[in-house]
Amino acid sequence: MRSLPDPGFAGDDGSVDPRLSTALAAYDQAPEADEADRRHAALAVLQDARVVVPVVAVLGEVEHDEQGLARDKTSDMAAVLMTGRDGRTALLAFTGSASLARWNPEARPVPVPLRQAAQAALQDGAAALLLDVAGPVLFVVEGEELGALASGHRLVRVEDHWGWASAGG
């Protein structure tokens, strides 16, 4: 009998970590003056979170029968990239199975640490990681933040400032 490797989330029922939902809600409700601080606070919780990356079937080859009707011959599973109005792409990720189901109830959830999702986004040529596109709180990780998280850097608060610390010291 073949066994699947443990993804490291034993007992995960797909729920959102309450600390993460609280941090994202605070970010979403933050007055403009506090937005950057609340964003960093949410990102500091998110960096340790499990996210769910959707995987969907993508049609590969098609064959046609004698009446000309098309039938799936092959299909592949793929992570989902979304293209914004500005032409940049983002890898989709979700805080839990409920927010994934709001977006697409047929997508298969793949639980991964946020760092792995950030790495996948960069490997796929995406400019961002788009979290919870269907709500409850849309959150985008891009630019320096995306690269830092993918590299394993940690966002830390020192006194009243936020900064990136390298994993090596």
Question: How confident is the model over 90-115, as pLDDT tens digits?
Answer: 999 999 999 999 999 988 899 999 99
Cα–Cα distance between 160 and 62 in angstroms, integer?
58
User: What pLDDT is stored for residue 42 in this prediction?
Assistant: 96
pTM of the model as a whole: 0.82
Cα–Cα distance between 13 and 153 in angstroms, integer?
28
User: What pLDDT is stored for residue 96 in this prediction?
Assistant: 95
User: What pLDDT is stored for residue 147 in this prediction?
Assistant: 97
CB-based contacts of 118: which residues, under 8 Å, 6+ apart?
129, 141, 146, 149, 150
User: What pLDDT is stored for residue 6 in this prediction?
Assistant: 53
User: What pLDDT is stored for residue 4 in this prediction?
Assistant: 44
Q: Which residues of the chain have pLDDT under 50?
A: 2-4
User: What pLDDT is stored for residue 66 in this prediction?
Assistant: 77
User: What pLDDT is stored for residue 59 in this prediction?
Assistant: 58
